[in-house]
Amino acid sequence: MDYFDEFVLREPSIRIQRHIPLDKYTTLRVGGSADYFAEPASEKELSALLTAVKEAGVPVLLMGNGSNLLVRDGGFRGLVIRLGKAFSRIEPWAHGLKAQAGALLSALASEAANASLTGLEFAQGIPGTVGGGVYMNAGAYGGELGKCIESVTVLDRGTVLDVPGGDMHFGYRHSRAMEENWIVLGARFRLEKGEKEQIDAAMRDFAARRKEKQPLNYPSAGSFFKRPEGHFAGALIEKAGLKGKQVGGAQVSEKHAGFLINAGGASAADFLALMKLVQDTVQKESGVFLEPEVRIVGNDP
């Protein structure tokens, strides 16, 4: 009997699955299997799982919608905890909305629009969750989550903390949660009252721009690389002549060079090889190193 068999006997309500393929849980549609996989139904269950892996010395990976995640083909040797529907509640509060970590950013933006609250229109098409979005300070079209966050609820080594937004060290694709290895449980968003027609119009405009410029019909992780200071990653990649470049099933999008897409049957190794090819070529052509925005985890086969 291994450690998780014993854990399940102690905590029979918590279901832990074994050898679960992670490709269906990431928007890139690649990745090997997790040794163990759980979707807790409450913060109590989440805390119990985190205590268990700490006692056992088992690696743990938290994920939401898997939209900014590349799992290697060998999978993850440990426990993957997915914060899903049980952590997706969105509610009003005095100055805007509060949302749990598993809530989709698109759902949060829609809730804000329905309540005639402005400030989250840019998030309408971001495929991630509140937890991942806060963790990396997700943004688009000049907007960032950090600009409208009043406070963040985090789990810090078993202790729940409410951290003011001003203390979260938000920067470009960065937050204090990264620095402290905090688990984001939810956030409060301070929003302003607006005109619903204008909010809806802005969201339609962002959606139309995404449809026109982004390869939405292919699996991807959104912008694969961070924006280098003074440059745009997509422009540098296109200038280097890499639009349409393909390694296996992974391809630099012909529609937007900042996107690496799964053109069909791609492996994580294909994406990693294409990433390195793009990095090396762009650095040779322009002297700029492209840092991945996508989080890369797991083991090689």
Taking the domains of the chain in order of start, what are their residue ranges? Answer: 3-85, 87-198, 215-297
Q: Return the CATH number of 215-297, one of 3.90.78.10, 3.90.1310.10, 3.10.180.10, 2.60.40.10.
A: 3.90.78.10
Q: How many CB atoms lie within 10 A of CB 204?
A: 12
Which CATH architecture group holds 3-85?
A: 2-Layer Sandwich (3.30)
E strand intervals along 29-131: 33-38, 60-63, 69-71, 76-82, 90-93, 96-100, 117-118
Catalytic residue among 29, 72, 82, 173: 173
Active site residue 190: no
By percentage, how much of the chain surpasses pLDDT 70?
98
Q: Could you tell me the pTM of the whole model? A: 0.89
**pLDDT above 60 for 1:** no
pLDDT at residue number 145: 96
Query: What is the mean pLDDT of the segment spanning 158-178?
Result: 94
> What is the arithmetic mean of pLDDT over 287-298?
96
Residues 58-80, mean pLDDT to the nearest whole number: 93
**Could you say which of 88, 223, 253, 267 is catalytic?**
223
In the residue annotation, 173 being an active-site residue is answered as: yes
In angstroms, the CA 265 to CA 8 distance is: 36
Decide if 121 contacts 205 (C-beta within 8 A).
no
| Per-residue pLDDT at 47 exceeds 90 | no
Structure tokens at 226: 């961070």
How long is the chain? 301
Q: Which residue has the higher pLDDT, 301 or 233?
A: 233
Of 39, 45, 111, 293, which is the active-site residue? 293
